[in-house]
Structure 1
Amino acid sequence: MTVRNWLTLAVLVVDAAVLAVVELLFLPLRFDGYVLPNALGGVPVPLSALVAALTTPWLVSVAGRLSPKLLVAAAPLLAWIVVVAIFGMFGPGGDMVLISDWRSLLLFACGALPSAIVLGRVLATTLTAPQ
């Protein structure tokens, strides 16, 4: 890999970590009158899960284009999982940022599962490609 590819991979990993923090902070978002209007009586809005489902697989696919190696292609996914786990359990000031309901599971499922599928596709195409 070239220096440019290493720098691109570093940006992808940092981007995955920042997105994980932002997704965790917006996880408790709901229509309750504080950030969103009180139009629906406090209905939760799983916007973080949607952002995770769109961005994390894209980061994995871009990393997979840099190098066919497993650790390079999986680096954004691994960074996202580690940040969600550590920052979610031991957040700022010792607070637990992961809330105890279905939105936390949805965030993890929407971030990790599509990314794992994309990672499998990246690895399968590199293994079956003619040498």
Structure 2
Amino acid sequence: MSSSGTREWLLLAVLVVDAVLLAVLQLFFLPMRLDGRVLPAAGDLPVPVVVVLAMVTTPLLVAQAARCAAALGRTPLLAGLPLLAWLVALLLLAVGGPGGDQVFLPDWRTAVLLAGGALPGAFALGRALGSGKAGARRDGSRAAPTASTGPSSAATPGAQAQRAGAGE
């Protein structure tokens, strides 16, 4: 294994650890309120500012993991490792601890955090999985489209109507 490959594997491991740490911090700061202690006082409203952090960081982690997977010449599925680690960390924290402590809030903010982190991350993963992989060959060239790779023009209703009008 080359030093570049080792560096990419190390970077991928750091991205996974970063995803776990972000999940823990996001859950810890999820109950923040506008009560005048940390944030300004404004009627004791719940403000899940960490959802914005999740919306920004999970796609970035996935995109960087996709670059690592491409540099390693591996499947783009490796790009999903940070997203998977983030989700697993959140779900593990949902289970009560040994003393019955629960970090997971049973309200709307938790659902917003899950959606705000998972959906942009899944979108970035889908983009990584679909980025130029269709029709690609091992040598890097692209396969030429053939009649068997797409819908046949004979099967479309417009083509059938044209043939009927042309007397075929």
TM-score strictly above 0.5: yes
**Structure 1 stretch displaced more, 40-49 or 64-73:** 64-73
| Superposition RMSD in Å | 1.8
Amino acid at match of 1:61: A
User: In 1, distance between residues paired with 2:53 and 2:40?
Assistant: 21
- TM-score, reference length from structure 2: 0.72
Q: Runs (4+) of structure 1 moved beyond 6 Å?
A: none
1:16/1:77 contact within 8 Å kept: yes
Query: 1:79 aligned to 2:79?
Result: no
The size of the alignment, in residue pairs, is: 130
Query: 1:96 aligned to 2:102?
Result: yes
Aligned partner of 2:17 in structure 1 is: 14
Greater gyration radius: 2
Instruction: Output aligned runs, 1:24-63, within 5 Å.
Output: 24-38=27-41, 40-63=42-65
Amino acid at match of 1:13: V
Higher relative contact order (CA 8 A, sep 6+): 1
Q: Deviations over 1:49-102 (max 9, x none)?
A: 110000011000000011152441100000000001101333584411111211
Greater helix fraction, Structure 1 or Structure 2 = 1
Partner secondary structure for residue 45 of structure 2: coil
User: In 2, distance between residues paired with 1:91 and 1:21?
Assistant: 14
Aligned partner of 1:4 in structure 2 is: 7
- List alignment gaps of at least 5 residues for structure 1: none
- TM-score, reference length from structure 1: 0.91
User: In 1, distance between residues paired with 2:88 and 2:98?
Assistant: 15
